[in-house]
Amino acid sequence: MAKNKKQKVKRPKALPPRGLRDYFGPEVVERNEMLGKITDVYQRYGFDPLETPAIETVEALGSFLPDVDRPNAGIFAWQDEDDAWMALRYDLTAPLARVYAQFSKDLPTPYRRYAVGPVWRNEKAGPGRFRQFYQCDADTVGTPTVAADAEICGMLSDTLEAVGIPRGDYIVRVNNRKVLNGVMEVAGVLDPFDPTKFEAERGIVLRAIDKLDRLGTGGVRALLGEGRKDDSGDFTGGAKLSDEQAEIIMSFMDARCDTGGATCTRLRELVAGSDMGLTGVQELETIAELSEAQGYGSDRLLIDPSVVRGLGYYTGPVYEAELTFEIFDGKGRKRQFGSVAGGGRYDDLVKRFTGQEVPATGISIGVDRLLSALREKGRIGDQDNGPVLVTVMDRDRMADYQTMVSELRNAGIRAEVYLGNPKNFGNQLKYADARNSPVAVIEGGNEKENRVVQIKDLALGKDLAADITTNEEWKAQPAQMEIKRADLVTEVRKMIARADG
């Protein structure tokens, strides 16, 4: 009789879900430092922080994502035990609308808030495109004046410069959905008396224009017509506009002129006959005038009809921050870095809850994209110093080493005791190197008896560390010095300062 073979244990794969990633120490530190600079600007402009849950009801979130061909209209959703549908938030704006509708009696009007956190979208994952990413938003709720839009654009400009994007390496591009709606009214794909008519066609037009940088004019025109097949063979259905209708839309996208005034003049021609379109042009002129008065000229803010923004809830001015410096893509080709932030006016979003129109406008910064841009510019990426390492020469004297590390920490110095196997001193030095420790502290039995310690400048000795295996070799290096035990904090601080200098 054959012996029963032991069934093989099926173990889970140590991989994150597709389209998601892990963030390690330096990345988290860089992100937090950048977010601190951004929120400092937001607070200087008078915005207050707000935190909302990562999960909202599907009813509260609504259906505004551009990638509607994905499951659950592009959101991660599930049915709760009480049959209510829940979802991970896809942005930080929809939760704000819910909060304002819920607490409007307790909040000042206008309400100015900023928010930071991860959002999730059920989109196709790809190189550099993740399903979870961080956003940093600022919004003003409760004021209809486009002065609020002009302020947001100016604040976005200040924010980019505060984090390290110099003037000349970015431009804030501004358009108005009312202008685009006016163009679509002229083109015959918008009925001002029946907003639901041609709704599907308008959605395709919006998404097509929003992909101009990626698809080019040929790809956009194809989507305005019958549709487009991409390199993989996937076919995306188009808006099925006539050639005449498509030409009106394409003329709108090509309406940018050398100056904002000339662009607005051209837009007036395109929306002639549409009251909504003319109102949008007037709002653009006001934004340009107010921005100029605050010192934000055409080198920082540009009227650009090609900006539409993909989300369906925008109702007026829309804006996008684009980085204009060149980088090399994965195939070694030069290209502009592109957009890192976007936003606009959404006067109907709170109305979903209250039945009453509540004007609102805001901006959202793509945190991961902006971090990547700062690395390209060399503004971040240098490895920060790790903790000072207190080495262990005698495992029976762990209390002495913990006392030293406590003194360093209480003095505001990042420090740790080596908690691996202390038998091989070389492994401790390799650990210090892996942690990018600026200083190592050594106290053997003789040092303890003489009330001294050895401290080592690891920045000077890093190249030699891999070859050092004994305490005697370590002491022989010129970057090492003997100090009084009582001077530990003072001398370590000096050594760190020298390494930083």
pLDDT digits (tens, 9 = 90+) for 58-117: 888 876 555 444 446 688 888 888 888 899 999 999 999 999 999 999 999 999 999 999
H helices of 306-382, where?
351-354, 367-376
Rounded to 5°, angle at Cα 496 from 493 and 501: 125
Residue ranges and CATH numbers for the domains of the chain are: 18-144+347-384 (3.30.930.10), 388-500 (3.40.50.800)
3-state secondary structure of 410: helix
> What order of strands is seen across the sheet that includes strand 77-79?
55-57, 85-88, 77-79
In degrees and rounded to multiples of 5, residue 140 shows phi and psi of -115, 120
Query: Which pLDDT does position 382 carry in this prediction?
Result: 63
Task: Residue 39: name the closest of 133, 137, 110 by CA.
Answer: 137
3-state secondary structure of 1: coil
Query: Which pLDDT does position 68 carry in this prediction?
Result: 47
Query: Which pLDDT does position 310 carry in this prediction?
Result: 64
Copy the structure tokens of residue 274.
């549409």
Give the β-pairing of 439-442 and 480-484.
Answer: unpaired
Contact 435, 459 (CB under 8 A): no
Whether omega before 110 lies within 30 degrees of 0, making that bond cis, reads yes
Copy the structure tokens of residue 473.
């070799």
3-state secondary structure of 124: coil
Copy the structure tokens of residue 271.
């929306």
Query: Which pLDDT does position 475 carry in this prediction?
Result: 58
Alpha carbon 27 to chain centroid, angstroms? 12
Q: What is the DSSP letter of 329?
A: -
- Name, in order, each residue with C-beta under 8 angstroms of 288's C-beta and a sequence gap of 6 or more: 174, 260, 261, 264, 301, 303
CA separation for the pair 141, 358 (Å, rounded): 7
Upper half-sphere CA count for residue 325 (Cβ side, 13 Å)? 15
Contact 276, 183 (CB under 8 A): no
Point out the residues of the chain with pLDDT beneath 70: 1-6, 63-73, 310-312, 328-333, 381-383, 461-478, 501
Copy the structure tokens of residue 103.
């607490």
Buried b (16+ CB within 10 A) or exposed e, 115-148: bbbebbbbbeeeeeebbbbbbbbbbbbbbeebeb
How buried is 84 (Cβ within 10 angstroms: 0-12 exposed, 13-18 middle, 19+ buried)? exposed
Sign of CA dihedral 22, 27, 32, 37: negative
Copy the structure tokens of residue 139.
């919004």
Query: Which pLDDT does position 381 carry in this prediction?
Result: 65
| Number of other residues whose CB lies within 10 A of the CB of residue 189 | 23
Instruction: Give the chain's end-to-end CA distance (angstroms, integer).
Output: 76
Sign of CA dihedral 230, 131, 211, 330: negative
Query: Which pLDDT does position 132 carry in this prediction?
Result: 93
